[in-house]
């Protein structure tokens, strides 16, 4: 079973957002929708068990994380922090797999749902900067309702 922790969902309205009608909360997905998107993205790699967190943060916080972990100045839309590797010792010991964290800045994200899927695919080890388009094609398929 996947355990998906959602943090800061209630903070989305304070960070702006990407709603076309100017309503910053209109584009915020529900907790259930966030969970479904993560499950669909992780299922593409056969992952059905483990824990991950999705956190919505301010532009200031994501800028701090971007600088600290990527050496890049300023805010970005989404960052992913994978934790367990493909065969972590914890799984062998019967502990749940810790997949990692997805951090999203609503004020710098055009499509929050796509950012959730994007972050989950990064937790799987996918990298759109080096894979010849495979990750982004899979992401588009998931967003259309497919899985491959």
Task: Give me the architecture of the 2-54+74-92+108-144 domain, per CATH.
Answer: 3-Layer(aba) Sandwich (3.40)
To 10 degrees, the CA torsion angle through 12, 16, 19, 25?
A: 40
Task: Find tokens 């957002």 and name the residue.
Answer: 17
Mean pLDDT computed over 7-14: 70
pLDDT tens digits, one per residue of 35-72: 999 999 999 998 888 999 999 999 999 999 999 999 99
DSSP H or E segment with residue 140: helix 134-144
Q: How far is CA 68 from CA 36, 51, 74, 105, 137, in A?
A: 30, 24, 11, 16, 29
Domain boundaries, the chain: 2-54+74-92+108-144
pLDDT tens digits, one per residue of 89-133: 555 556 668 899 999 999 999 999 999 999 999 999 888 878 888
């Amino acid at each position: 079973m996947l355990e998906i922790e959602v943090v800061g969902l209630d903070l989305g309205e304070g960070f702006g957002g990407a709603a076309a009608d100017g309503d910053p909360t209109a584009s915020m997905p529900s907790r259930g929708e966030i969970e479904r998107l993560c499950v669909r993205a992780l299922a593409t790699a056969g992952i059905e068990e483990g824990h991950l967190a999705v956190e919505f943060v301010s532009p200031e916080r994501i800028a701090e994380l971007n600088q600290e972990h990527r050496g890049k100045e300023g805010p970005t839309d989404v960052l992913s922090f994978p934790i367990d590797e493909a065969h972590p010792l914890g799984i062998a010991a019967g502990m749940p797999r810790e997949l990692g964290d997805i951090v999203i800045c609503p004020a710098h994200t055009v499509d929050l749902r796509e950012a959730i899927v994007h972050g989950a695919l990064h937790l799987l080890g996918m990298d759109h900067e080096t894979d010849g388009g495979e990750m982004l094609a899979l992401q588009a398929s998931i967003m259309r309702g497919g899985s491959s």
